[in-house]
Amino acid sequence: EAGVTQFPSHSVIEKGQTVTLRCDPISGHDNLYWYRRVMGKEIKFLLHFVKESKQDESGMPNNRFLAERTGGTYSTLKVQPAELEDSGVYFCASRGYSGTRNTGELFFGEGSRLTVL
């Protein structure tokens, strides 16, 4: 069974440019999360989808970040325009859904490293 996959693995762009990161969760997982780790610091929550709906986007830094999950399958995270402080590793994670509670392990992708010059 395929795990959570992310693309690209590494992106280098200049300040002011646009980047789109993609995440394919484990098939059948309704819950999809985006996290970010700025160099050497903790992993921080960005947002949470349940199927195609944004359940919680309170961790999004500002309106330069836009996340979508059309059709409730893969998700994209767009940064436009990118700033230097956006550099970091962006992780996607997914989890199954059982009954009325989110249960089960959180599975992470390998991350997309973003470098803004």
Binding site for another protein (CB under 8 A): 4, 31, 33, 37, 40-45, 48, 55-56, 58-59, 91, 93, 95, 101-103, 105-111
Q: Considering beta carbons, is residue 80 or 103 the nearer one to another protein?
A: 103
Nearer to another protein, 95 or 116 (CB): 95
Least distance from another protein to the Cβ atom of residue 33, Å: 5
Number of neighbouring beta carbons within 10 Å of residue 88: 21
29 closest CA partner among 7, 65, 56, 5: 5
Q: CB of 45: closest distance to another protein in angstroms?
A: 5
CA angle 34, 110, 14 (to 5 degrees): 70
Nearer to another protein, 59 or 72 (CB): 59
Of 86 and 95, nearer to another protein (C-beta) is: 95
Q: Which residue in the block uniquely carries the two structure tokens 């947002």?
A: 47
Rounded least distance, CB 15 to another protein, Å: 26
CA angle 111, 112, 115 (to 5 degrees): 135
CA–CA separation, 96 and 7 (whole Å)? 21
